[in-house]
Chains A and B, each alone.
Chain A
């Protein structure tokens, strides 16, 4: 009896921070949807970076253009917490172009599925069975990605940079966010998901809290599954599960929980593509060392490789929409989606194999 109690106390001692972060992130997602963000999309790193890409007119998809305060908030929260905890460190130089390409591929896969791993978890919490199929793909992608890791894959070391390199990204993001208030400078959706917006100050403040917590807890969707597979370390998975728990409860309270595949908000039922899109996301995220949410937090901590990756996501979103690769609620895009996914797998395989180092 005592041992079990001690075991549970030990469990809480080791995992409370990541569980609290998951609960807060899940609750934040439900609250942001209640405040105006799209349903089952209170938070979505891929979708919101896609909206920013549209706001900057990198693509012309009118329904998905808005300079999302949530992305700015997560980065600023991470910057602030990293400074407070003396963990802010400008670093970079670890295969930046390869990371940019991986960022593009991950975004293209995420927009076929319609969501990053964080939104996948939020969709699961809303009862969306299509997202469970996405989860299977995500896990398969991560398992594939662990093989090159086991054989010595590495994108090489990052090295210390000067402070300007580490601060460039968060300052640029903050300046662009301020500029986004100038009327008609950036594009802004008047219909579709991009027009569904929580109050900007609420979105910014909530995201700052989430970003700060994610910096402390290192919450990462891809890392959770990867560590469980490779090290039998379930620490980050508990954060993953906490998000689902909070979102389920929040949706039940709001009366927005709907179990099934049909008629889910901003989702499609093409299971093969939901699966394949998330295989790309899982595989690419493992090679990058973290999911899109984690890349934002690392960029906030001063990692310019992650900043490059975030711009890879933004470029990938533009490619997705400009070439008809992004899905919508009515189905997959009109472009050559399957061919691009196949090309994506070939590129991921090449990056995986060509970066395996001989063991010393």
Chain B
């Protein structure tokens, strides 16, 4: 689980990139709190062949990346 809430660009996608490169997880949960981060992570995840599901919870976003 990557908690990138409150972090400014490009930290959220950078944390996800770091986790993907290090552990190559089949699925990864990411918490962010703005749509810019959702967009950045979605584009990065697609480039790494992950599928992304995003659900909004109380103004925050729970993203699930899976292969």
Contact = CB atoms under 8 A, between A and B. Distances in A.
A14 B6 CA distance: 25
B28 to A, nearest CB: 16
Contacts of A230: 10, 14, 17
Contacts of B44: 231, 233
B7 A89 contact: no
Given A155-B8, A227-B10, A289-B8, A233 B43 contact: yes
B6 A158 contact: yes
B8 A89 contact: no
Contacts of B7: 154, 157-158
Sorted nearest first, the 9 A-B pairs with minimum C-beta distance are A157-B6, A289-B8, A289-B9, A158-B6, A218-B36, A87-B35, A233-B43, A231-B44, A154-B11
Interface in B3-28: 5-11, 13-14, 17
A136 interface: no
Contacts of A40: none
Nearest to A94: B8
Interface residues of A, number: 27
Chain B: number of interface residues, binned into ranges: 20 to 34
B34 interface: yes
A233 to B, nearest CB: 6
B6 A89 contact: no
Q: Which of B5, B40, B59 has the most CB of A within 10 A?
A: B40
A149 B10 contact: yes
Given A155-B8, A227-B10, 6 more contacts: A87-B34, A149-B14, A158-B6, A226-B10, A231-B44, A233-B43
Q: Which of B8, B11, B14, B43 has the most CB of A within 10 A?
A: B8
A188 interface: no
Interface string A156-186: 0111000000000000000000000000000
A284 interface: no
Interface of A: 14, 85, 87, 89, 91, 94, 149-150, 154-155, 157-159, 218, 220, 223, 226-227, 230-233, 235, 288-290, 305
Nearest to B46: A14
B47 A89 contact: no
Given A154-B11, A231-B17, A159 B43 contact: no
Contacts of A232: 47
A91 B36 contact: no
25 contacts: A14-B43, A85-B35, A87-B34, A87-B35, A89-B59, A91-B6, A91-B33, A94-B6, A94-B8, A149-B10, A149-B14, A154-B7, A157-B6, A218-B36, A220-B9, A223-B9, A223-B10, A230-B14, A230-B17, A231-B17, A231-B44, A233-B40, A233-B43, A235-B43, A289-B8
A165 to B, nearest CB: 15
B13 A231 contact: yes
Contacts of A14: 43
Contacts of B40: 227, 233
B37 to A, nearest CB: 10
Given A89-B34, A231-B17, A159 B6 contact: yes
A145 B41 CA distance: 20
A223 B40 CA distance: 11
Contacts of B11: 149, 154, 289
Contacts of A231: 10, 13, 17, 44, 47
